[in-house]
Amino acid sequence: MRWVLSFGMCSSAVVVFVFGTVTEWLHFYNKWFYCFLWIVNGLLQSTGWPCVVAVMGNWFGKAGRGLVFGLWSACASVGNIFGAFLASSVLQYGYEYAFLVTASVQFAGGIIVFFGLVISPKEVGLPDIGEEGDGSAEEDVSEPLIGSSDDDDDDQNYSIQAADLSNSGSSSNTRQPKAIGFFQACCLPGVILYSLAYACLKLVNYSFFFWLPLYLYDNFGWKEAEADELSIWYDVGGIIGGTIQGFISDKLQKRAPVLAVSLILAIASLLGYSRSPNDKLINAVLMAITGFFIGGPSNMISSAISADLGRQEMVKGSSEALATVTGIVDGTGSIGAAVGQSLVSLIHDKLEWMSVFYFFSLMIGLTVLFIMPLIVNEIKMLRAERRLRRLAG
């Protein structure tokens, strides 16, 4: 995984350097060449997120994963903020230097990853996290966050089928885990539903972020520089949202209900933001609230939930399986985000900005719809656990 991650970072840096710097130095401008380079760049960058989520999954178990991953996944938002400031600081010398500086930082990061990244605790002589529990952990910590308990027959379609494990006996504990195929990963409980949900949610998250400066410029007449600076508050809200919602999901030991509440409030926050007055302070507050309820769930699905899905009992201990599952979820989300850019442009040109916000609300509604079976399942599990606690008390 270290090789894949460092290769992806360094190669992507070279492509970015050629795209923005070399072409300007050579005064070579060709639309199809730019398209080709950006497709290659997307392919190389797609190696990043699945690998880093798999590495984090090797180091952190279920206990506290929502908080840890919620805080850690803010790295993407922090990168957006840092990258914007870094690029703007050298933009006065020419846009090619913005590409040069960011590509240099990315290439240096790839070198650091290659020589410094520790993939798993085993590499430094530490035991594995053993998150599935061996009797020493508390019951609510070792119980899976994705799936259901064994005594609930009605939820078998969304729980892990343990037949293969029971047939393999104790020898399964000693075998080295193998990587799973694409279709095997898709068949894991929850993967398809969360992937489809993330396609809709990432569409909204990315579209809102990318189109926000233009919306502020068109709707309020603010300068582009002011609009760019103000849009940072959307990322700030996402950072806080991912951390707090991850912490709450850890306490509940369930992810889907937390997502559902946040996404329903996201629709309200979107419609509220669409009616924001021409006041920068109020706009920034409403923007941060919107980022809290949209960016937070997006960070959770792409990190903590992907890690939960990739470390189910079926693929216990396989970081390769975790990377595959994360790649499926993130890749499906990226397809949705790519389609969303075209749709938002079309809606904006043909209709008006208010229609764009209605479209975002519809996509968030579809997100909730896709994970509804998991929401119902986990609410049933919460009620069952409460009944057991009452009986035990």
Q: Does the pLDDT value for residue 157 go beyond 80? A: no
Range from 23-27, 43-47, 73-77 carrying the lowest mean pLDDT: 73-77
pLDDT digits (tens, 9 = 90+) for 344-378: 888 888 888 888 999 999 999 999 998 888 888 88
pLDDT of residue 162: 35
Average pLDDT over residues 309-333: 73
Question: Is residue 174 over pLDDT 60?
Answer: no
pLDDT at 314 over 60: yes
Q: For residues 7 and 107, give the distance between their C-alpha atoms in angstroms, rounded to a whole number.
A: 9
With 60 as the cut, is the pLDDT of residue 234 above it?
yes
Greater model confidence, 3 or 223: 3
Going by pLDDT thresholds of 50, 70 and 90, the confidence category of residue 173 is very low
Structure-derived torsion over alpha carbons of residues 132, 59, 53, 290, reported in degrees to the nearest 10 = 90
The per-residue pLDDT for range 265-281, each reduced to its tens digit, is 999 999 999 888 888 88
Which of 46-60, 153-167, 325-339 is predicted with the least confidence, judged by mean pLDDT? 153-167
Share of the chain above pLDDT 90, in %: 15
Can you give the C-alpha Rg of the chain in angstroms? Answer: 22
Indicate if the pLDDT at residue 18 is higher than 90.
yes
Predicted pLDDT of residue 75: 82
Question: In degrees, to the nearest 5, what angle opens at C-alpha 217 toward C-alphas 212 and 218?
Answer: 100
The pLDDT assigned to 311 comes to 65
Write down the pLDDT at residue 293: 92
DSSP-derived letter for residue 155 is G
C-alpha 183/C-alpha 237 separation (Å) is 36
Q: Which residue has the higher pLDDT, 256 or 15?
A: 15
Q: Count of CB atoms within 10 A of residue 93's CB? A: 11
* Whole-number average pLDDT of the chain: 79
Who wins on pLDDT, 389 or 284? 284
Residue-level pLDDT at 359: 92
Cα distance between residue 199 and residue 332, in whole Å: 6
pLDDT average, residue stretch 339-347: 87
Nearest Cα neighbor of 294 from 89, 141, 77, 148 is 77
300 has pLDDT over 60: yes
Tally of CB atoms within 10 A around 22: 15
Each residue's pLDDT tens digit, 111-138? 998 888 888 788 777 777 654 444 444 4
297 or 314, which is more confident: 297
Cα distance between residue 231 and residue 248, in whole Å? 27
Residue range 58-108, pLDDT digits in tens: 777 766 677 788 788 778 778 877 887 787 778 778 888 889 998 999 999
pLDDT of the residue at 37: 92
Cα→Cα distances 60→56, 255, 270, Å: 6, 17, 34
Question: Which residue is associated with the tokens 């020419």?
Answer: 94
Alpha helix ranges (H) inside 143-300: 163-168, 182-186, 191-220, 224-230, 232-252, 256-273, 280-300
pLDDT tier, 256 (very low <50, low <70, confident <90, very high otherwise): confident
Can you list the domains of the chain with their CATH numbers?
2-119+181-392 (1.20.1250.20)
pLDDT score recorded for residue 292 = 92
Q: 125 — phi, psi (to 5°)?
A: 80, 15
Would you place residue 163 in the very low, low, confident or very high pLDDT band (cuts 50, 70, 90)? very low
